[in-house]
A = this chain, B = another copy of it.
Amino acid sequence: LDREQISTALKRLGIRVTRQRLAVAEVLVNARDHPTAQEVCERARVTLPQISLGTIYNTIGVLINSGFIQSLSFNEATRYDANLAPHANLLCVRCGTITDAPDEGGAVTSLREDLCSRIGFQAVSQRVDFYGLCGRCAADGGRS
């Protein structure tokens, strides 16, 4: 997504568009990983050097409240993700990378439906994490 599309999306959500918000949203939409607030700040400063960390937190809050992004608290840090579709987060315990696995077979969705009908819980969203070795690190075997 380019700036124009993001700007339109923000307006549609009723968010006042400022240079700072555009920069933060752009960073998050284009991030393939799940950056922390600090990382969002560093990346946003590439295009907007004077942006403050306070504004990053403020903007992230606005984007979460309007449903543009979600926050994922991990043990090591809180990270932010613009991918709101059902998916699983794959965390490699060796190299630390976090990647998204799309819910291809609809397994996450069906797990959700199963639970809802069986337990009587009405789920509106979910979070699924798997911890282990990514393909690269698994192939690398015991070396490190």
Q: Which residues of A contact B (CB under 8 A)?
A: 71, 73-75, 78, 88, 90, 92-93, 101, 104-105, 107-108, 110-112, 114-116, 118-135, 138
Contacts and interface: CB of A to CB of B under 8 A. Distances in A.
A101 B115 contact: yes
Nearest to A121: B90
Contacts of A116: 132
B90 A119 contact: yes
B115 A121 contact: no
B114 A107 contact: yes
B121 A126 contact: no
Contacts of A121: 90, 92, 101, 130, 132-135, 138
Given A74-B73, A111-B107, A132 B127 contact: no
A121 to B, nearest CB: 5
Contacts of A108: 111
Nearest to A138: B122
A115 to B, nearest CB: 6
Contacts of A104: 118
Contact of A127 (B92, B120, B125, B127): B127
B132 A123 contact: yes
